[in-house]
A and B are shown apart, each in its own frame.
Chain A
Amino acid sequence: MAETIPQNGGYMVAAYIVAAVILVGYALSLYRRSR
């Protein structure tokens, strides 16, 4: 019988969003500091 792939896509989406928020947030903070 074929092994089923775990359904945990929500964790991946959460991690990708968190990483983007941190990196974009830092980029925006640099932009604010430069003004």
Chain B
Amino acid sequence: MTLLNRGRLLTIVGLVLLGAVYVRALAFTPTEASQGLAQKIFYIHVPAAVWAETSMILIGIASAFFLFLKDPRLDRFAEASAQVGTVFAAVVLTTGPIWGKPIWGTWWTWDARLTLTLLLFFIYVGYLVLRGAITEPGLRARYSAVLGICGLVLVPFIHFSVLLFRTLHPQPVILKPSAPSLPAVMLTTWLFSFCVFTLLYIGFVTQTYALLLRREAGPPAHG
């Protein structure tokens, strides 16, 4: 099975399981009393946010290693991860305001967590624009590696922004030093959703990586 087909298979399984996450979240997970049904946005918003940030961490690590090793696979992985990270950041930045409106009474506020997440999205977009603007492969890989490392530096500030600044955004309920502060049934649904988003990340990155590899190899010869 080719790399592209493996990625495609993982993506299809991930999308089917995303449907199962929706069913479990809606039908088999209790509704939180103070926030109502809007709280169930948590099951897609938070896993997408974790992978939007993790994707940038992986880009930064791959970029740092690329600057030393000059291995094109690292650069190719970073580009694939940037495309997928942009998609997950878009999910975060759309589902977040939809959750915020009924709970906070506003779609958006310029507090630290929200603003830094928007900045992360702009770094992703800037990274992809930079790659599209430079035609020389070596120069493109070096410049984008530097931007990838800058993105990596941003991620801890996003995660700890709710602790460092006064913000409307809730404190972490899962990724924190103490045990998750969620009922077991809600935690199980969240973990299921997180596994599905992980599968989607791997499937998307594998497909994107295979397509980048094909693009570098050039068009297939005919005749």
Q: Which residues of A are in contact with B by a Cβ distance under 8 Å?
A: 3, 5-9, 11-12, 14-16, 18-20, 22-24, 26-27, 30-31, 33-34
Contacts and interface: CB of A to CB of B under 8 A. Distances in A.
Interface of B: 4, 7-8, 11-12, 15, 18, 22, 31, 33-38, 40-41, 44-45, 48, 84, 87, 90-91, 94-95, 98-99, 101-102, 200, 204, 207-208, 210-211
A8 to B, nearest CB: 4
A29 to B, nearest CB: 9
B207 A11 contact: no
Given A22-B87, A23-B200, A33-B211, A8 B38 contact: yes
B95 A5 contact: no
A3 B41 contact: no
A23 B22 contact: no
Contacts, number: 84
Pick from A14, A27, A31 the residue with the most CB of B within 10 Å. A27
A16 B18 CA distance: 10
A24 B11 CA distance: 9
Nearest to A9: B37
Q: Which among B4, B40, B200 has the greatest number of chain A C-beta atoms within 10 A?
A: B40
